[in-house]
Amino acid sequence: MTTTAQPTRKAADARMPGTWGLGVHQGALELRQFFRQRDQVVFTFAFPIVFLFLFASIFSDDVEGAGITASQLYVPAMIAAGIMSTSFQSLGISIAIERDEKVLRRLRGTPMPPSVYFLGKIWLVLVTGVLETIALVTVGTVFYDVGLPGDAASWLTFAWVFVLGLTGCALLGIAISSVPKSARSASSVVVLPFLVLQFISGVYIAIDTLPEWMLNIGALFPLKWMCQGLRGVFLPESASVLEVAGSWEYGRIALVLGAWCIGGLLLCLGTFRWKSRSDG
């Protein structure tokens, strides 16, 4: 009797998906839930595109000595903001809401490994980040004559800036999700610092016109370096004169974004909570 039960249990365990398989299923669930909320989908994808149209239409003159127009300067900056929107802002708000609504507490009480929940979020951020980037690149190339990278090295630069930037911002979003005291305050707590960062990181205002103290604060966070890296990918070399150092500084960009990935992970491990503060 025992001999029969043991192979049965082994066969059942063999049929159960592993952590990665469960993570894919969780990611598919996250994506279905996201795309079912049409207002959230429209806001997430339309917000950077609308702002790109607004700023690129208002400021469209040639940038002296850079060989580009102001409209073209906004394209890589808004791509970087779009990446941060689908990672930092999306996770910061959604996880805070799920914690307040006891979703995280119920998940923690199931046999599902905690890593599966985060793998699902990774798939959500990756897919929405790629779609947002494709949409903004399309708008930039069609309406503002921004050229696509012309060689493999530039595409490789685009890839690592995207991956490191998305990862660092996602981890920062998970960390800040523990700050709001309730679901109602989540949007205010997350959106305000994101909005400030966009102004001091060269998204809405050209980096060469910002006061030095703002530049120093912006340089502490990943958005400024994502903007700079993507400008190097999509703009001609002549536009590097607009940077503070007069060059794209790819080495420093990789160093800062990589540091945010490591530091963000440590920050998440130290701050993430499955229960809201009211639950103890």
- pLDDT beyond 50 at 35: yes
Which is more confident, 3 or 98?
98
Q: Decide if 269 contacts 171 (C-beta within 8 A).
A: no
User: Which pLDDT score, from 0 to 100, does residue 273 have?
Assistant: 87
Dig out the tokens for 169 from the structure.
């911002």
Question: Which pLDDT tens digit goes with each residue over 200-241?
Answer: 999 998 888 889 999 999 999 999 999 999 999 999 999 999
Q: Decide if 267 contacts 90 (C-beta within 8 A).
A: no
| Span 63-67, average pLDDT | 85
Hey, CA dihedral for 209, 212, 213, 217, is it positive or negative? positive
- pLDDT beyond 60 at 14: no
CA angle 142, 146, 149 (to 5 degrees): 115
- pLDDT beyond 60 at 32: yes
Measured distance CA(96)–CA(121) in Å, rounded: 13
- Packing angle between helix 152-176 and helix 90-100, nearest 10 degrees? 30
CA distances from 223 to 87, 172, 190, 232 (A): 12, 11, 15, 14
Measured distance CA(240)–CA(208) in Å, rounded: 11
User: Which pLDDT score, from 0 to 100, does residue 16 have?
Assistant: 56
- Packing angle between helix 38-58 and helix 70-84, nearest 10 degrees? 160
- pLDDT beyond 90 at 152: yes
- pLDDT beyond 70 at 17: no
Instruction: Work out the pLDDT band at 1, boundaries 50, 70, 90.
Output: very low
Q: Decide if 81 contacts 54 (C-beta within 8 A).
A: no
Q: What's this model's pTM, rounded to 2 decimal places?
A: 0.90
- pLDDT beyond 80 at 11: no
Cite the DSSP H helix spans in the chain: 2-15, 19-36, 38-58, 70-84, 90-100, 103-108, 114-143, 152-176, 183-200, 212-218, 222-234, 250-271
User: Which pLDDT score, from 0 to 100, does residue 278 have?
Assistant: 66
Dig out the tokens for 136 from the structure.
């903004």
